């Protein structure tokens, strides 16, 4: 009897372990990470001229990233029956706090970086933690599309070598992806952005604590059409502020914003090429002249608080980027952008005045073998005001040389471990911080 009990216990344990193993194997694990060390040749810490935020890396991100950042993504199919599938997705992100405004000063060398909700000079602090995504999907319910509700990145489009997201309608929302309509695929999502942190709006009796000041409902329509040369994406994002009664009485900014994007994608010289044209208005303007196209946090962007009137804003941009192969040894990543804004702000100190901005980034790569490569990144950026309110720093040039070892010969093979040296010049360059060197890893899986 005792032996039978032992056998039953062993079988139950084995069955439990098998079940747990099967369940664990169903969980998919993906992610992104970057981290490294750096030094200013003139002494002191590494300084980076791109921030990864609104400023992006307009002269290229190689050798110009001072922070540590990681995203850990997990997903699991929790139910599948009769052609129906339900999945859960989540992404947790962690990064160091950086400071410096238009340039980025690192937090490298900390022995421990705790999660905090504010910036800090404490060498044991300086971390930020976020749930970037948490959403559920259902397939097989609405034709061949995938339904979703929750918080997610939202079909972002980016230029990787610049860390520039020209479409990023991320956040809380609901919608569906990939419904066959005619010859193409139609996607739709309703997202909402809001902040109740509060700030001085300049309007008597109205601030962020009086209802959620920043609140925008966005309707996102997308249609992907296959064409002979590749595919065309047509995207229209419409953003409408929703105001409290007090905000309406105070003439708060309430103009509808639009972000229209037309993008053509095609294979090109063994790689790919993407060409896009964008036009944005009002609260969806800043992502066209800067980073994060489609996101909103910019009611102030087109609001003249001094004169108490609603002002309109608009911007347009063209982008061309991709990767081309030259034989078996050389690949070239490239990006060219040109943008103009039309914003009536009569303040020489306002960073979002009426600007023209254009840049080019080239990253040629020579592959010595399947694992070793040499990278050269050249970047040039011009940011100039379209008014006579005063002189501003305009140009920035960067040259980065890196030696890397990566998990394969491809341009996007990762992880990649690099040694680099970067040189900066131009009117926006700091003469005491124009030569950097260091080491960095970048990975996605």
Task: Please give the chain's pLDDT, 445 residues, in tens.
Answer: 544 455 455 545 554 544 444 444 579 999 999 999 999 998 888 888 887 665 689 999 999 998 889 999 999 999 999 999 999 999 999 888 766 666 776 666 666 666 665 555 565 566 778 899 999 999 999 999 999 999 999 899 999 999 999 999 988 999 999 999 999 999 999 998 765 544 444 444 455 444 445 677 899 999 999 999 999 999 999 988 777 776 677 666 677 889 999 999 999 999 999 999 999 988 788 778 878 777 654 444 445 545 555 567 889 999 999 999 999 999 999 999 999 988 765 554 555 567 788 999 999 999 999 999 999 999 999 988 776 655 565 899 999 999 999 999 999 999 999 999 999 999 888 888 899 999 999 999 9
Domain boundaries, the chain: 141-199+207-336
Query: How many beta carbons lie within 10 A of that of residue 11, not counting itself?
Result: 10
- Closest Cα to residue 25, out of 73, 71, 72, 76? 76
Cα 65-298-359 angle, rounded to 5 deg = 45
Whole-structure pTM value = 0.87
Taking CB atoms within 8 Å and a gap of at least 24, the contacts of 303-309 are: 303/252, 303/253, 304/344, 304/345, 305/201, 305/202, 305/203, 306/202, 308/203, 308/251, 309/251
d(CA 190, CA 188): 7
- Output Rg (C-alpha) for the chain, integer angstroms: 24
According to CATH, the topology of domain 141-199+207-336 is: Maltoporin; Chain A (2.40.170)
């Amino acid at each position: 009897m005792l032996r039978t009990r032992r056998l039953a216990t062993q079988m139950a344990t084995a069955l439990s372990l098998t079940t747990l193993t099967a369940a664990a194997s169903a969980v998919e694990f993906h992610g992104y990470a970057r981290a490294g060390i750096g030094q200013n040749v003139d002494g002191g810490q590494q300084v980076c001229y791109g921030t990864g935020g609104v400023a992006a890396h307009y002269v290229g991100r190689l050798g110009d990233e001072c922070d540590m950042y990681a995203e850990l993504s997990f997903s699991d199919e929790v139910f599948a029956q009769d052609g129906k599938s339900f999945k859960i997705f989540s992404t947790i992100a962690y990064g160091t706090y950086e400071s410096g405004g238009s340039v980025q000063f690192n937090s490298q060398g900390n022995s421990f970086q705790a999660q905090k909700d504010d910036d800090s000079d404490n060498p044991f602090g300086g971390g930020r933690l976020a749930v970037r995504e948490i959403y559920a999907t259902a397939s097989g319910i609405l034709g061949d599309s995938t339904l979703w509700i929750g918080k997610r990145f939202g079909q972002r489009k980016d230029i990787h070598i610049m860390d520039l997201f020209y479409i990023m309608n991320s956040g809380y929302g609901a919608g569906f992806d990939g419904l066959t309509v005619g010859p193409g695929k139609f996607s739709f999502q309703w997202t909402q952005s809001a902040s109740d942190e509060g700030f001085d709006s300049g309007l008597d009796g109205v601030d962020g604590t009086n209802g959620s000041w920043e609140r925008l409902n966005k309707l996102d329509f997308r249609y992907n059409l296959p064409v002979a040369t590749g595919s065309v994406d047509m995207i229209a994002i419409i953003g409408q502020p929703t105001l409290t009664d007090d905000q309406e009485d105070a003439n708060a900014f309430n103009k509808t914003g639009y972000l229209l994007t037309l993008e053509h994608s095609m294979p090109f010289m063994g790689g790919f090429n993407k060409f896009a044209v964008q036009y944005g208005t009002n609260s969806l303007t800043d992502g066209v002249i800067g980073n994060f196209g489609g996101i909103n946090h910019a009611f102030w962007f087109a609001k003249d608080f001094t004169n108490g009137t609603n002002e309109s804003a608009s911007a347009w941009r063209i982008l061309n980027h991709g990767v081309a192969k030259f034989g078996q040894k050389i690949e070239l990543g490239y990006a060219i952008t040109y943008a103009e804004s039309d914003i009536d702000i009569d303040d020489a100190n306002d960073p979002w005045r009426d600007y023209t901005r254009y840049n080019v980034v080239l990253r040629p790569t020579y592959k010595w073998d399947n694992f070793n490569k040499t990278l050269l990144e050249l970047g040039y950026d011009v940011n100039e005001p379209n008014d006579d309110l005063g002189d501003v720093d305009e140009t920035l040039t960067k040259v980065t040389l890196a030696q890397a070892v990566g998990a394969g010969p491809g341009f996007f093979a990762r992880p990649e471990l690099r040694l680099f040296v970067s040189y900066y010049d131009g009117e926006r360059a700091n003469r005491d911080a124009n030569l950097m060197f260091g080491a960095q890893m970048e990975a996605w899986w």
